[in-house]
Chain A
Amino acid sequence: MNSKSKTGFIQILRSFGRKFSDLQGLLIAILVLGTVLSILSDNFLTGNNIVNILYQATIVAVVALGQTFVILVGGIDLSVGSLIALSSVLSVGLTVNNGLPPWLGITITLILGIIFGLAHGLAVTKLRMPSLIVTLASLSLASGLAYVYSEGQNIIPVPEVFETIGNAQFFGGQIPVFIPFALVLIIISYITLTKTRFGRQIYAVGGNQMASRLAGIPSNRVIVIAFVISGLSAAVGGLMMTARLQSGSPIIGSGMELTVIAAVVIGGTSLFGGQGNVIGTVLGVLLLTMASNAIVLLSIPPNYDKVFTGLVIAIAAALDIYRQGKNTTNMSRLKRSSSGKEVAKNSNPKTEQNNSNVS
């Protein structure tokens, strides 16, 4: 107790190291891929290309942040790709087709994302529907609505505000505004999950919902909010996509839910919930974006994009299983020692208290 600050520091280091020790594999994968790419291509390690990778990563990252909350509580949100498309056509169309002011169109779009999330959360908690099914329905529904609303056409031109945002640059036109924006959201999510009561509740509910409920945590509310965050982040992703492509399109974002979920899972967030963090998600997004980038840099025909991404996911997942396998060995060691205790227990507690080989 005499060196309180010192122990405190060591504890912080320890907990930090432990929190992110799971990410070593992912970091190594990123470094290896980065090294290989910088050897194979002179263009990889240029400022331009790195900014380009980060820029591409932002939209997936924002949507993946929301997905992380959902997966942490033990759910999954398949609807995000379609919600991106729906918010893209709505945010543009409400102004272009329906004459609303752009800020109102954007607000309505964001509210729609929230409503979808709310509906998912309520269906999961109140109707006890599996989130896989609920959001699979929304995947189809939101995509369909996007097509109906846009009549299958791209809606152009976009309102001026999208052009402004899409072209806004920081640092003398070097850094697109998306990058600091995503960074801010990443930091907010990180703080929410690690520092706030709500964050603890997310992990607790995902780790053991019954125990959380019995401990007085409003588990249903926590789950609903997680889905709302995901719905909202998908809507934001849709707005970003619209600004980047300068068009309201019903086809953008289609299939993106798989990339997003892959990024979260590669990032070490357990599909069973209760385990994972935002840093992992961000690294997962980076790895997948680098994989896409490699296709361009190495002039591999674009049709191989998915093949390559698939291989990256498979390798990352295999590394993850390998790592968890090592964890399990640790756990079974613990289990063995505890079952040894059970054997000790099977003898009469009163007469064999000298049977004390247990620590």
Chain B
Amino acid sequence: MSLLKANNIHKRFQGVVALEGVNFELKSGEVHALLGANGAGKSTLIKIVSGYHAADEGEILVNEVKIPFNDPKASHKAGIATIHQEHNLIPHMSVVDNVMLGQWIGRYGVVSEEECRKKALNAINRVVPGLDLDLYGHQLTPAEGQLVEIARALSEEAKILIMDEPTTSLSPREIERLFNVMRDLKSQGIGIIFVSHWLEEIFEICDCVTVFRDGRYVGSEDIKNLDENTIIRMMVNTDVPELSPQKRNPGKEILKVRNLCKDGVLQNISFDLHEGEILTIGGLVGAGRTELARCIFGVDDYDSGEVLIDNIPIPKNSPRAAVKVGIGFVPEDRKGQGLARNLTVRENFTLSLLDKVTHLGFISKTSELDISNEQSAALKVKAPSMEANIMTLSGGNAQKVVIGRWLARKPRVLILDEPTKGVDVGAKAEIHRLIGEFAESGMAVLLITSEMPEVLLLSDRVLVMREGRISGKLNRSEVSPESVISFATAEEVVY
């Protein structure tokens, strides 16, 4: 009999489809992997099951009984406990209180410390024996915090445990301990939904796999009948555009990154970037790609390694120095880091060019307009006027303003972090064309993107990152959705 069943779940967020009729079934005593690339809808389903979101359509059944949506308490009562990605401990409460959160035992509203302690100790002993019950939530390591949350679930006699990427911040030893706890729970008949990007973990701990893709249900299968290739093929969209035929002729090396390390973020990153080449960095969100870009550009510090332009090292931690040697950086978070809200289009164009438009300490509006108009024409920015508020522009046009700001400096290396995020289809195509033109004009482009079509369309070469390392280097002929995903998620590569 199935423990948990989700039937035909639909969910939209402000018109954007997150889930489109997905199904899921969990049996008791199994660890069931929920897989999918970023944005596949895994987290959304989990949040619906745990009562955090309401679904627009569909039903959730626990032991064949329907549970109400958007009612965390009802989900708890039904025996569902969720270990969310972000830690859900109360920082200034003891382990006892965190285990007993919301379930404190007592009479007439008075909490009985002794009974709470007893029950908490019981639960803690099942998952992390020997943990000091008087430590505060904020004093625990991520691994301990997670185990405390599992203990909480056990103390509530949860039958269904949902774990959303529980291994992300754990060491191998801690992962092993977690898996042992999971096997133990499994043998007690508890059903576990396990979300992870790492295929080797899936093969180690899971009995069954369900794959989502772009908010749709792809299929469920017993792990015995699966291998990595099959799972990867289920995860990636097969109808992506063909490789575009045109080929650029990269020139000499311009940017060299050598053994870049940053504690806990980047490990020994080395690569070269040539003039007139588009080098794409693929991988999952959180693999360290943005951090790498920020280190190269000098926004963030790194521990060791070198970044060289024309074989001359550039000082770290100094965006100014990076700009001086000809690096431009279009950040991922356009609204947060790219645009100065409520300033005009003109002012946003010249935000990083103030040295070029300043004469005797005063900003010359004429030179500002010259630059803005020139870039605006070159990039075909659609703006009511140069004096319009930047926030009135569409995402694509605003992005062009951020790009244009750098083009005015004629950079030799341009780093673009998710340049088409939140941009409509038309503007996306234009930005793709522009990036191609930059490379053809001899600029070296370092492109970070999570969108597979973009990787296929633009890349001359691809670096795939995983957990702060470069896990794969692909030439143009080797680039395919399968190869990128497998380097991004799996340890051994078959292709």
Residues of chain A whose beta carbon lies under 8 Å from any beta carbon of chain B: 11, 14-15, 18, 195-201, 203-204, 207-208, 210-218, 274-275, 331, 334, 337-350, 352-353, 355-356, 358
Question: With an 8 A cutoff between CB atoms, is B313 at the interface?
Answer: no
Given contacts A214-B88, A353-B176, contact A346 B267 (CB under 8 A): yes
Q: Which of B400-436 contact A (CB under 8 A)?
A: none
Closest-CB distance, A243 to chain B (whole angstroms):
31
Question: With an 8 A cutoff between CB atoms, is B491 at the interface?
Answer: yes
> Given the complex of chains A and B, what is the CA–CA distance between A199 and B152 in angstroms?
19
Contact A346 B175 (CB under 8 A): no
Cross-interface CB contact of B90 among A207, A213, A348, A358, cutoff 8 Å: A207
Closest-CB distance, B411 to chain A (whole angstroms):
32
> Given the complex of chains A and B, what is the CA–CA distance between A214 and B139 in angstroms?
22
Q: Which of B56-113 contact A (CB under 8 A)?
A: 72-73, 76-77, 82, 84, 88-94, 97, 101-104, 106, 109-111
Contact B52 A214 (CB under 8 A): yes
Contact B171 A345 (CB under 8 A): yes
Contact B101 A204 (CB under 8 A): yes
Question: Which of chain A's residues have a CB closer than 8 A to the CB of B142?
Answer: 338
Given contacts A341-B171, A348-B491, A350-B491, contact A216 B91 (CB under 8 A): no
Contact A215 B76 (CB under 8 A): yes
Cross-interface CB contact of B171 among A212, A217, A358, cutoff 8 Å: A358
Question: Which of chain B's residues have a CB closer than 8 A to the CB of A346?
Answer: 264, 267, 467-469
> Given the complex of chains A and B, what is the CA–CA distance between A102 and B168 in angstroms?
65
Closest-CB distance, B423 to chain A (whole angstroms):
30
Question: With an 8 A cutoff between CB atoms, is B170 at the interface?
Answer: yes
> Given the complex of chains A and B, what is the CA–CA distance between A198 and B104 in angstroms?
10
Given contacts A338-B141, A341-B170, A346-B468, contact A204 B263 (CB under 8 A): no
Question: With an 8 A cutoff between CB atoms, is B336 at the interface?
Answer: no
Contact B110 A212 (CB under 8 A): no
Question: With an 8 A cutoff between CB atoms, is B474 at the interface?
Answer: no
> Given the complex of chains A and B, what is the CA–CA distance between A155 and B50 in angstroms?
57
Question: With an 8 A cutoff between CB atoms, is B391 at the interface?
Answer: no
Given A203-B97, A207-B137, 18 new contacts (CB under 8 A): A14-B134, A197-B106, A204-B97, A211-B89, A211-B101, A212-B102, A215-B76, A218-B73, A339-B264, A341-B169, A341-B174, A342-B264, A345-B170, A345-B172, A345-B175, A346-B267, A346-B467, A353-B172
Closest-CB distance, B145 to chain A (whole angstroms):
10
Contact A355 B172 (CB under 8 A): yes
Given contacts A195-B110, A197-B104, A352-B172, contact A334 B139 (CB under 8 A): yes
Given contacts A214-B50, A216-B102, contact A204 B93 (CB under 8 A): yes
> Who on chain A is nearest to B137 by CB?
A207
Question: With an 8 A cutoff between CB atoms, is B323 at the interface?
Answer: no
Contact B92 A331 (CB under 8 A): no
Contact B104 A200 (CB under 8 A): yes
Contact A208 B88 (CB under 8 A): yes
7 contacts between A and B (CB under 8 A): A197-B110, A198-B109, A201-B102, A208-B91, A215-B76, A342-B169, A346-B469
Contact A337 B141 (CB under 8 A): yes
Number of B positions contacting A (CB below 8 A): 50
Closest-CB distance, A199 to chain B (whole angstroms):
8
> Given the complex of chains A and B, what is the CA–CA distance between A135 and B323 in angstroms?
48
Cross-interface CB contact of A215 among B102, B170, B176, cutoff 8 Å: B102
Contact A207 B91 (CB under 8 A): yes
Question: Which of chain A's residues have a CB closer than 8 A to the CB of B50?
Answer: 214
Task: Please give me the 6 A-B residue pairs with the lowest Cβ-Cβ distance, nearest first.
Answer: A207-B90, A211-B88, A215-B102, A349-B172, A341-B171, A216-B73
> Who on chain B is nearest to A12 by CB?
B113
Contact A207 B92 (CB under 8 A): yes
> Who on chain A is nearest to B170 by CB?
A345
Cross-interface CB contact of A214 among B84, B110, B172, B469, cutoff 8 Å: B84
> Given the complex of chains A and B, what is the CA–CA distance between A199 and B93 in angstroms?
12
Contact A200 B111 (CB under 8 A): yes
Contact B141 A347 (CB under 8 A): no
Q: Which of B281-300 contact A (CB under 8 A)?
A: none
Question: Which of chain A's residues have a CB closer than 8 A to the CB of B134?
Answer: 11, 14-15, 18
> Given the complex of chains A and B, what is the CA–CA distance between A65 and B88 in angstroms?
28
Contact A216 B173 (CB under 8 A): no
Contact B173 A356 (CB under 8 A): yes
Most chain B CB neighbours (cut-off 10 Å) among A212, A348, A349: A349
> Given the complex of chains A and B, what is the CA–CA distance between A353 and B176 in angstroms?
9
Given contacts A214-B52, A342-B264, A349-B172, contact A195 B111 (CB under 8 A): yes
Closest-CB distance, B201 to chain A (whole angstroms):
8
Closest-CB distance, B136 to chain A (whole angstroms):
8
> Who on chain A is nearest to B97 by CB?
A200
Question: Which of chain B's residues have a CB closer than 8 A to the CB of A358?
Answer: 171, 173-174
Question: With an 8 A cutoff between CB atoms, is B200 at the interface?
Answer: yes
Question: Which of chain B's residues have a CB closer than 8 A to the CB of A348?
Answer: 172, 491
Question: Which of chain B's residues have a CB closer than 8 A to the CB of A338?
Answer: 141-142, 169
Most chain A CB neighbours (cut-off 10 Å) among B84, B93, B491: B93
Question: Which of chain A's residues have a CB closer than 8 A to the CB of B102?
Answer: 201, 204, 212, 215-217
> Given the complex of chains A and B, what is the CA–CA distance between A355 and B175 in angstroms?
13
